[in-house]
């Protein structure tokens, strides 16, 4: 089925100037960018986004990393977009990410891991609404 998923190009990848290379991978895989914006997250916005990780030991470092520079938030649309994006990203820890995945090619560490992608239909719905109003998404 055609799905939508939330993707974030994280501060490390923005700093490396590989926004375009990452979005190209989505497009080459048949995913369409139907919404996009560059924003600088603050503690409240980043903490709310990652609320499910609030009790995890890495939460503080995660929020501090995600607010360290601008990010590019996008909605990707396409057939099985959620799983397709996760396959393109590779494992959360770049050391475990398969060759040719975004994280294997661009990420440095489990914190600075280049991209985020929704992990389920329920999180995609929540995460998309967290960043975009309905009229900011251009279905095509
Ligand atoms: P992301 O997919 O954005 O979701 C939560 C983020 O927490 C994850 O990518 C990692 O960048 C970061 N993180 C740091 N340490 C861990 C860990 N031990 N397990 C999972 N995620 C971690």
pLDDT digits (tens, 9 = 90+) for 74-103: 999 999 999 999 999 999 999 999 999 999
pLDDT digits (tens, 9 = 90+) for 47-70: 999 999 999 999 999 999 999 999
pLDDT digits (tens, 9 = 90+) for 109-122: 999 999 999 999 99
H, E, C per residue of 58-109: CHHHHHHHHCCCCEEEEEEEEECHHHHHHHHHCCCCHHHCCCCCHHHHHCCC
85 is in an annotated binding site: no
What mean pLDDT value characterizes the chain? Answer: 98
The C-alpha atoms of residue 6 and residue 12 are separated, in whole angstroms, by: 18
- Is 0.95 topped by the overall pTM? yes
Tokens of 33: 């960018």
Tokens of 98: 């398969």
> What is the side-by-side order of every strand in the sheet holding 2-9?
32-39, 71-79, 2-9, 115-117
Q: Of 110, 120, 124, 127, which is best to mutate to test ligand 1, by the most ligand atoms within 8 angstroms of its C-beta? A: 110
- Say if CB 84 and CB 78 are below 8 A apart: yes
């Amino acid at each position: 089925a055609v799905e939508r998923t939330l993707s974030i190009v994280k501060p490390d990848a923005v700093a490396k100037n590989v926004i375009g290379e990452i979005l190209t991978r989505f497009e080459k895989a048949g995913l369409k960018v139907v919404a996009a914006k560059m924003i600088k997250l603050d503690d409240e916005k980043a903490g709310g986004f990652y609320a499910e990780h609030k009790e995890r030991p890495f939460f503080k470092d995660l929020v501090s990393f995600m607010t360290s520079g601008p990010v590019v938030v996008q909605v990707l649309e396409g057939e099985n977009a959620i799983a397709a994006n996760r396959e393109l990203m590779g494992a959360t820890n770049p050391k475990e990410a398969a060759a040719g995945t975004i994280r294997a090619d661009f990420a440095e560490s489990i914190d600075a891991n280049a991209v985020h992608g929704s992990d389920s239909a329920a999180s995609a719905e929540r995460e998309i609404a967290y960043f975009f109003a309905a009229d900011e998404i251009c279905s095509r």
